[in-house]
A = this chain, B = another copy of it.
Amino acid sequence: MRIALDAMGTDLAPRPEILGALQALEDFDGDIDIVLVGDEPTIRAELDKHGGVSEHLSIRHAPDRVTAEDPPASVIRRKPDSSIVVGLRMHEADEVDAFVSAGSTGAIMATSLFTLRPLPGGARPAVGTLLPTVDSPCLLIDAGANIDCKPQHLIQFAHLGSIYARDTMGLASPRVGLLNIGEEPGKGSEIIAETYELLSRESGLNFVGNIEGRDIIIDTCDVVVCDGFVGNVLLKFYESVAAFIVSLFRRELASRAPDADFEDVFRVLDYSEYGGAPLLGVGGVSIICHGESSPKAIRNALAVAARAVRSDMVKHSARDMPAGARLEEAS
């Protein structure tokens, strides 16, 4: 399989991308080919420090770069030579099987939608993100693509998340929970209460009911459904809280118990362990990473992409999304 990796996405690009790609190639041992997409001289200057291109690692020149100031929807038209557009065009043309980028989330989403298209029937794409829990991680969907959601959109997210969890997380029947402010049916806003009703009757889902903020971390379900506003706030809050607490303990451990090794505990709380977040509901594999991604996070995002390609998740999503959960019903 071939994966296009945007080499210009992180704040420190292209270094984390190149180191992450090299690590992935070592770990996955010939299983994948990676195409670094971006400004060739810049990539080559860094890559030559680490042995240059190789059998499984090539460069695709894309001289332009998307910035945070570029309006996401206009990137495809105004920056056709940017690494995001070139990489996704490669995926559109089937030159690669997946695209991974730590660039502008909005631009990746808008360009993915344009090039990879929504799934047949028109599911509304959503971002799925893994959150660490006491047991196995759980998938939060939507983590920021859709701000104002109708019940039908949330039901789409439930299906997209469930299919992804089944295909890539090895769960036969993922437990799907609806994020709410109480457990009882009827709780929450009108939209959420109506979503509960519809999810209760929806087939093809293992719906376990409403879950509260406190339930996420204790592994009460595998897929948490919410709108992109709540999901985005929650995700960013989690990352910062985990980082805050880890830094607190790291500092105190250094002075009070300098010999104790806690790296494995810190690792549980390290967001980058989970790599990138898939954009679900489009006709391809598009993985969104943090702008601050480390080489390890890039390596793990490439692993996420490879798992998604290998599982045929996109084909299954197109096949298994019930028509009732598609966009024409929702509008």
Contact = CB atoms under 8 A, between A and B. Distances in A.
Interface of A: 133-134, 144, 147-148, 179, 181, 188-190, 192, 212-218, 226, 228-230, 232-242, 244-246, 248-249, 252-253, 256-257, 259-262, 265, 268-269
B244 A217 contact: yes
A209 to B, nearest CB: 15
B245 A232 contact: no
A218 B234 contact: no
Contacts of A238: 213, 237, 241
A179 to B, nearest CB: 6
7 contacts: A192-B229, A213-B235, A213-B238, A226-B233, A234-B237, A238-B241, A253-B260
Contact of A148 (B190, B240, B245): B190
Nearest to A248: B265
Contacts of A189: 147-148, 229
A226 B241 CA distance: 18
A233 B234 contact: yes
Contacts of A245: 242, 245-246, 269
Contact of A265 (B240, B249, B262): B249
A181 B249 contact: no
Contacts of A236: 212-214
A214 B237 contact: yes
A244 B134 contact: yes
B232 A217 contact: no
